[in-house]
Structure 1
Amino acid sequence: MISNTTHSESPDAVTAISPTDVELAPITSHSKQDDPFLVAFAEPFDAENPKDWRTGRKWAVTDVLSATGFNRIMVSTIIAPALSTISAEFDMNSAESAMALSIYLLATAFGPLFIGPLSEVYGRKPILHASNVWFLIWNIACGFARNKETLIACRFLAGFGASAIYALANGVLGDVWRPEQRGRSLGVYMLIPLLGAAVGPIIGGFMANRTTWRWMFWATSIFQAVMILVSFTAFQETYEPLILRRRAERLRGETGDTRYYTIHERLHANKSALRILGRALVRPVRLLVSHPIIQISSLVSAFYYGILYIVLSTFSDLWIYQYHQSVEISGLHYIAVALGEIVGAQLCGMLMDSLYHRLKARANGEHTPELRTPSVFPGAFIGPLGLFLYGWAAQYRLHWAIVDLGAFITMLGMQITGMPLQAYIMEAYPEHTSSAGAASQFPRSLTAFLFPLFAPTMYKVLGYGWGNSTIAFIGLVVGLPAPLILWYYGARLRTRAQASY
């Protein structure tokens, strides 16, 4: 339970270590050799190490996070079929109506910038519980809104709480799963949340015709209350520095010896709590501004995430106005979107793990984050292909199954593109996966907010054929060079990057 290191508790030993050296070099097992007071996870197995937990315990934590993510993401799109009803009741113009839907996504851009760093200071568990309750309160308030201003404000505040799922997912999955399990764990985790974005309009379509739109918020709030109860019992702390700090505190209390310490306690020695918190809160912004690998991977992910929300926000209108179907039937076409994402996530999970093992073997067993980037290429071709099919089939009003097939292929390709990039960020920033995830989520949420705002005008001017073709061509230009850059220059860019501390 206690590992050794060359560091000691004496002031002289502390000052002999350059802070820059500590920040730039992650603490690895070869530096823990001579200090009996350094508290770290034992090798090769430690029951308290989240990566050594039994498989069932890992899946319990993953599934709780996944189910919570389903509800939070579903709420982002569930009101889409009811926007016309809400607009009529609150006398909203088209811009205000779009804002009622999209403001939730804008909040998910800013929320992770705070929530991710907070989880690296106070741990994953309290942040998850606090954000769950925050989201529940404001989602209920949406159902009781009596004017458009209240609805839009409550949607923003609910989205802020919901954004915790984006900040915590990378961190928790990075805490409990090892690189060789990355593909499968990501695929299973994303299985339920991916349903949320597509299932939301389906449920919303039926509720819009059969009951008041307010039940969209009340029903999801009931589910959220259940998930809060489940998370309080099933979710356990996964943040390694916090687990080790508690162990060190326990050892100091049991032995009365104050020399026991963790490497993170040593790293933050002589720093005030306010300074530690301030440094953590600006970390996602620093990563986004100064780290090229965050910028490159985020650009690709953000573009495809924006396309996802173009499809989600306009798909119903396509079937209602282009194919003259009912609101309820139009919502059923989102099944194709959901299936594309689910199949893409599962195929990508298997592809990632298989390709990772092969590339790692060729690299003589050495693990580097760049081993994830070749998995991006299939999706970079498949996604645009689906957009071409979807756009021109809709333009010429071909059979609905062909349009749905195009949407299916589009979503499948986007998942195969996005998952390896997510894994790359997780493994490039093992010390601060939540902050890195928050940095990459910011542009993603911005495109999810902005792209649906111009999508109706784009389709009106260019039509579905050239509208989707334009997006597909941009996708090829953005999606193909990025993995090549990361493959050839990623390691060099990571070396030159400023320390994530």
Structure 2
Amino acid sequence: MNRQESINSFNSDETSSLSDVESQQPQQYIPSENGSKSNMAPNQLKLTRTETVKSLQDMGVSSKAPVPDVNAPQSSKNKIFPEEYTLETPTGLVPVATLHSIGRTSTAISRTRTRQIDGASSPSSNEDALESDNNEKGKEGDSSGANDEAPDLDPEIEFVTFVTGDPENPHNWPGWIRWSYTVLLSILVICVAYGSACISGGLGTVEKKYHVGMEAAILSCSLMVIGFSLGPLIWSPVSDLYGRRVAYFVSMGLYVIFNIPCALAPNLGCLLACRFLCGVWSSSGLCLVGGSIADMFPSETRGKAIAFFAFAPYVGPVVGPLVNGFISVSTGRMDLIFWVNMAFAGVMWIISSAIPETYAPVILKRKAARLRKETGNPKIMTEQEAQGVSMSEMMRACLLRPLYFAVTEPVLVATCFYVCLIYSLLYAFFFAFPVIFGELYGYKDNLVGLMFIPIVIGALWALATTFYCENKYLKIVKERKPTPEDRLLGAKIGAPFAAIALWILGATAYKHIIWVGPASAGLAFGFGMVLIYYSLNNYIIDCYVQYASSALATKVFLRSAGGAAFPLFTIQMYHKLNLHWGSWLLAFISTAMIALPFAFSYWGKGLRHKLSKKDYSIDSIE
């Protein structure tokens, strides 16, 4: 078979010229020394098989390109083969010519994606969400969206996929290995979150060492949380280009190192600067772990694994004052708090760096490089390599689009506000409990830290409840096509408990009432907090599908801003309003927010269609 025949054999209209076997089975070609296909003898070069139109159609590939998986590389270009990162094929190679024969071209994909994302009732141009701001909703855009279309790819290019049962595919790893990695990565999140609140158990040591007030000492906590919002701008592109493992190794290594100047800081300014940088470096644990866990599980089963991720960032900060309250009271040493944090981070640095790469695009890039070397064919590559990745695209996906969503997507902003409120309340507890239990009951930091144990217990109950929510969701999936609103069950269960916790905290803030009363508020808060976050996180993903990473980045930014701000005024609020009304003010806000998951459950679809510039959700896809 010569070069042209090899290409033409991928066209379903021309397979009549081939034998029945050739047209139905994956094709073979013999790469020459310069990478082209030739008719050289089999004993001279290795035979390499590729997929045919029929073999792809048998696997369910059609002319309509699906929306890329949540973990696909972020790009403004429409992809002609987004299944590359989730589909396993017998040969592991899919020629672009074959995809063209099926109907996958840049123009066709552009039109298809427009119908999928915009919906029939609101056709728009096929431009990226950021560029579509110049188009009026409901009008047919006349822009070709050249920047968003896939380039005209060389038909001789062959995209790499996992082969059937490929051991390199994280989905095929044994279940016990995937769950072990899930637990270890969740502990990494706990480690990072622990670091943000570790100093809250010993603020007195900061005041004593640098002769500053409580407000200045609190900044050592808030600035690290602010760093959490900026770090993803670095680590998300690093992960997309070089993989999760590289991002963890570099970021956590820097985090370990920068704990040294935190412990030895000669003045408050040095401590604050290093704490901020610790937040930037360690934020990879918060922005990438969810993706790492999702890498290992198919979309239909990853919900239970992601529940561990939802649990970790809210439990981690609670462990900080619980552990370091005893260090503060026993030793009075600020540096020891950071040495312990450094040791914890060092252990997790080693563990996270030892976990194999889970990110499919990077695994396939390496596989493509290996195949190019083995076959001598330079046109074996991933679609990301074929299209190219520019820094402007990275900045658009990681910075501009999240900011765009923050000002154009009211449903996302409302959802993120609730997540932000819950996260902020958690950090508010770190400074409300010392006022309640320290000033009212006279407890020192070590005993105040013990009051956080009920929050951990409540969070564990919530983790168990998430499995119930996931089972209900899977049942819905079997019965009908799910909608994003089906993800709100957890939030509807948890929302009342978060408000009840604050009402209890305010109502039991009397010295003659035993400490069990206010401490028990932590049970309800921990339970509601994790369920709300788990549910709304999934809701955001389903609402924004292709741009889920950008939507989640918006959530991380707003959440971190709230978590950093609340500690700065919580103590003053309790002193001004007293112990009862300080909690009840927050309880009123939390009670009002109970309506959000219920309202979105009933009217969410309509609100998304009316208030969003586009419908990005999973239920807009045919």
The residue type equivalent to 2:182 in the other structure is T
The residue type equivalent to 2:422 in the other structure is Y
Aligned mates of 1:402, 1:54 — CA distance in 2: 46
Between 1:132-141 and 1:114-123, the stretch displaced more is 114-123
Residue by residue, what CA displacement relative to the aligned partner does 1:130-173 show, whole Å, maximum 9, x if unpaired? 11011111112100101111111111111111211221122112
Q: CA deviation at 1:386?
A: 1.5
Which of 284, 288, 295 is equivalent to 1:164?
Answer: 284
| Alpha carbons 1:314, 1:455 under 8 Å: kept | yes
Higher-helix-fraction structure:
1
Cα gap change, 1:7/1:371 in structure 2, threshold over 3 Å: closer, same or farther? farther
1:370 aligns with 2:491: no
Residue by residue, what CA displacement relative to the aligned partner does 1:213-247 show, whole Å, maximum 9, x if unpaired? 201111221222222222222x1222222222222
The residue type equivalent to 1:294 in the other structure is L
Q: CA deviation at 1:432?
A: 5.6
| Alpha carbons 1:322, 1:397 under 8 Å: kept | no
1:100 aligns with 2:220: yes
What secondary structure does 1:496 align onto?
coil
Match of 2:420 in 1: 302
| Alpha carbons 1:113, 1:439 under 8 Å: kept | no
Aligned mates of 1:47, 1:287 — CA distance in 2: 38
Between 1:203-212 and 1:115-124, the stretch displaced more is 115-124
Aligned mates of 1:13, 1:496 — CA distance in 2: 24
Match of 1:329 in 2: 447
Match of 1:30 in 2: none
1:472 aligns with 2:587: yes
Q: CA deviation at 1:440?
A: 0.9
Which of 413, 428, 432 is equivalent to 2:528?
Answer: 413
Which of 454, 477, 481 is equivalent to 2:569?
Answer: 454
Cα gap change, 1:101/1:394 in structure 2, threshold over 3 Å: closer, same or farther? same
1:393 aligns with 2:508: yes
Bigger CA radius of gyration: 2
The residue type equivalent to 2:277 in the other structure is L
Match of 1:340 in 2: 458
The residue type equivalent to 1:346 in the other structure is A
Match of 1:29 in 2: none
Residue by residue, what CA displacement relative to the aligned partner does 1:181-239 show, whole Å, maximum 9, x if unpaired? 34431333455554421121121111112221201111221222222222222x12222
Q: Quick one: higher RCO (CA 8 Å, sep 6+), 1 or 2?
A: 1
Q: CA deviation at 1:385?
A: 1.1
Match of 1:359 in 2: 476
Between 1:63-72 and 1:297-306, the stretch displaced more is 63-72
1:53 aligns with 2:173: yes
Cα gap change, 1:484/1:245 in structure 2, threshold over 3 Å: closer, same or farther? farther
| Alpha carbons 2:228, 2:282 under 8 Å: kept | yes
Residue by residue, what CA displacement relative to the aligned partner does 1:289-310 show, whole Å, maximum 9, x if unpaired? 4444432321110011111111
Q: CA deviation at 1:495?
A: 8.9
Match of 2:321 in 1: 201
The residue type equivalent to 2:363 in the other structure is I
Aligned mates of 1:487, 1:179 — CA distance in 2: 25
The residue type equivalent to 1:147 in the other structure is N
The residue type equivalent to 1:393 in the other structure is T
Aligned-residue CA RMSD (Å): 3.0
Q: CA deviation at 1:378?
A: 1.1
Match of 2:346 in 1: 225
Match of 2:256 in 1: 136
Cα gap change, 1:247/1:291 in structure 2, threshold over 3 Å: closer, same or farther? farther
Cα gap change, 1:20/1:290 in structure 2, threshold over 3 Å: closer, same or farther? farther
Aligned mates of 2:413, 2:347 — CA distance in 1: 38
Aligned mates of 2:419, 2:380 — CA distance in 1: 43
Residue by residue, what CA displacement relative to the aligned partner does 1:74-121 show, whole Å, maximum 9, x if unpaired? 121121232122112212133212212211111112222332343223
1:382 aligns with 2:497: yes
Aligned mates of 1:100, 1:94 — CA distance in 2: 10
What secondary structure does 1:79 align onto?
helix
Aligned mates of 1:123, 1:309 — CA distance in 2: 32
Cα gap change, 1:316/1:36 in structure 2, threshold over 3 Å: closer, same or farther? same
The residue type equivalent to 1:252 in the other structure is R
Aligned mates of 1:9, 1:16 — CA distance in 2: 13
Match of 2:557 in 1: 442
The residue type equivalent to 2:479 in the other structure is R
Which of 118, 128, 132 is equivalent to 2:238?
Answer: 118
Match of 2:394 in 1: 277
The residue type equivalent to 1:223 in the other structure is F
Which of 286, 290, 310 is equivalent to 2:404?
Answer: 286
What secondary structure does 1:107 align onto?
helix
Q: In structure 1, list runs of 5 or more residues that go unmatched.
A: 27-33
Cα gap change, 1:122/1:390 in structure 2, threshold over 3 Å: closer, same or farther? same
Residue by residue, what CA displacement relative to the aligned partner does 1:317-356 show, whole Å, maximum 9, x if unpaired? 3111011123322221111122222222222x22221220
What secondary structure does 2:265 align onto?
coil
Cα gap change, 1:293/1:442 in structure 2, threshold over 3 Å: closer, same or farther? same
| Alpha carbons 1:166, 1:438 under 8 Å: kept | no
What secondary structure does 1:78 align onto?
helix
Aligned mates of 1:24, 1:243 — CA distance in 2: 31
What secondary structure does 1:38 align onto?
strand
The residue type equivalent to 1:93 in the other structure is G
Q: Give the number of equivalent residue pairs.
A: 484
Match of 1:37 in 2: 158
Match of 2:81 in 1: none
Aligned mates of 1:389, 1:381 — CA distance in 2: 12
Cα gap change, 1:499/1:470 in structure 2, threshold over 3 Å: closer, same or farther? closer
Cα gap change, 1:341/1:499 in structure 2, threshold over 3 Å: closer, same or farther? closer
| Alpha carbons 1:166, 1:437 under 8 Å: kept | no
Cα gap change, 1:495/1:373 in structure 2, threshold over 3 Å: closer, same or farther? farther
Cα gap change, 1:100/1:16 in structure 2, threshold over 3 Å: closer, same or farther? closer
Match of 2:38 in 1: none
The residue type equivalent to 1:320 in the other structure is G
| Alpha carbons 2:201, 2:323 under 8 Å: kept | no
| Alpha carbons 1:323, 1:397 under 8 Å: kept | no
What secondary structure does 1:64 align onto?
helix
What secondary structure does 2:381 align onto?
coil
Q: CA deviation at 1:395?
A: 4.4
Cα gap change, 1:434/1:397 in structure 2, threshold over 3 Å: closer, same or farther? farther
1:65 aligns with 2:185: yes
State TM-score, norm by structure 1. 0.87
Aligned mates of 1:8, 1:281 — CA distance in 2: 33
Between 1:446-455 and 1:420-429, the stretch displaced more is 420-429
Q: In structure 2, list runs of 5 or more residues that go unmatched.
A: 1-88, 118-154
